[in-house]
Amino acid sequence: MAPYAFRLALQSLIREKWINLLSILTIASGLLVISVTLFAAYNIDAATRRLPEKFSMILYLEDNTPQDRLESIMTALRKKRAVSSVRFISKDEAIKELRGLLKNSNYVFEGLDENPLPDSIEVKLKKEAVTAEAVKKISEEAQTIKGIKEVDYGEKFLAAIHSVRSGVTTIGIVLIAIISAGIIFVCYSTVKILFYRRSDEIETFKLLGATKTFIRLPFLIEGGIIGASGGLATLLGVMMFYYIVIARLSAAIPLLSTLLFPRTVFLSLPLIGLFLGITGAAIAIGRLRY
C-alpha cells in the first residue's frame, strides 16, 4: 500500500504543482524566520555563556591595609565555595595596567602626582556562580569583611546580560511557537484544498472498499513532502546566507566571523518541516466517515 500511496502523493504534487510550490515557499519563509531567530538566540547564548569565564569582582581595600590583614582577607575569600581564584593587585600594578589600557590617551595621567588608585583584590568566580543573585550575595558578604572599602562587580552589566539572555529565549520560544503554528496552518490549508478537490475520487475509493489508511496515507505523505521541501529550501537558503554572504561580509566586518552556525539544528530543518507538514495534513484530513 505504501509504494502506491507515495505514487498517489507524487502524482498529486505534480498535478497541483503551483499550489504546492506556493505552500513550500510560504513554509520556507516561516522556517527562515525560525532559523534567523535560532541563529540569533544561539549566538547570543554562546556569547553570554563565554562571559562568566571572563567575569571578575574587584574588592577595593582600605588604604594602608597591613599585610597580615590582607592575608586573612584573601584566605577568607578563598574559602568561599563560589570563588575560583583570588589575586592581589597593588595600586602600582593597577596604574600600570591602566596606563597600558589607555596608552593612546596618556593625557589622562598628566598632572597626576600620586597614584589615586587603591590596592585591590581580583576575585574570579566559578562559572556556575556567575548569576546576578549569587554575585550580589558574595559582594554583600565581602563588604562585611574588615579592610574592604568597596566592591565593584558590574552589577548592571551582569543583570543586563541575564535579561538579554532570558529575553531572547522568551521571544525566540514565542516566535517559534507562532510560526510553527503558522506553518501547520499552511500545510493544513493546502491539504484541505487538495482533499476537497479530490473529494469525488475519495468517495469512489471509499465505495470501492478503501480503508481509511489507504485514503489518508497519500495526503500525509504529501503534507510531509511539502513540509520537508520547505525545510530543505530553508536549509539551502540559510547555508548560502552563512557560507556566502556572512563569509564575504566578514572581510569587511570582522565581528561577523565570530558568529557560530548551529549546524545540527539547521540540518534538522527538513525534519522539522516534515513533522509540521504531517501534523497539518493530519488535522486537515480529520475524521473520515463512511
Partner 1 sequence: MTVDSSIMISFSTASKEYDNQTALRDITFMVEKGEMVFITGPSGSGKTTLLKLIYSAERPDSGHISVAGWDINNLKESTIPLLRRHIGVVFQDFRLLANRNIFDNVAMALRIRGAAEREIKTKVYESLKSVGLRHKSDSYPRNLSGGEQQRVVIARATVAEPNLLLADEPTGNLDADTAEGVMRIFKNINAKGTTIMIATHNKELYRNTGKKVIRLDSGNLVDVGKG
Q: Does 214 bind partner 1 (CB under 8 A)?
A: yes
Which has the closest alpha carbon to 142: 156, 152, 132?
A: 152
Label the pairing between strands 56-61 and 83-89.
Answer: unpaired
Nearer to partner 1, 166 or 213 (CB): 213
Minimum Å gap between C-beta 282 and partner 1 is: 18
Q: State in angstroms the smallest separation of the CB of 18 from partner 1.
A: 16
Tell which one of 6, 205, 241, 261 touches partner 1 (CB under 8 A): 205
Q: How many Å apart are CA 12 and CA 61, to the nearest integer? A: 78
User: Whole-number minimum distance, CB 233 to partner 1, in Å?
Assistant: 28
Q: Which long-range contacts (CB under 8 A, 24 or more apart) does 40-45 make?
A: 40/168, 40/172, 41/168, 41/169, 41/172, 42/260, 42/262, 42/265, 43/259, 43/260, 44/164, 44/165, 44/168, 45/165, 45/168, 45/169
Kindly tell me which residue out of 99, 212, 248, 263 binds partner 1, with binding defined by CB under 8 A: 212
Residue 163 backbone phi and psi in degrees, to 5: -70, -35
In the complex, minimum distance from the CB of residue 277 to partner 1, in angstroms, rounded to a whole number: 24
15 lines the binding site for partner 1 (CB under 8 A): yes
If one asks whether residue 251 binds partner 1 (CB under 8 A), the answer comes out as no
Tell me the closest approach of the beta carbon of residue 264 to partner 1, in angstroms: 39
Binder of partner 1 out of 68, 209, 251, 252 (CB under 8 A): 209
Among 162, 206, 239, 283, binds partner 1 (CB under 8 A): 206
Residue 175-204 contact track with partner 1, rule CB under 8 A, x = bound = -------------------------xx-xx
Q: From CA 222, how far away is CA 12, in angstroms rounded?
A: 8
Strands (E), 12-62: 56-61
* Binding residues vs partner 1 (CB under 8 A): 1, 4, 15, 200-201, 203-212, 214, 289-290
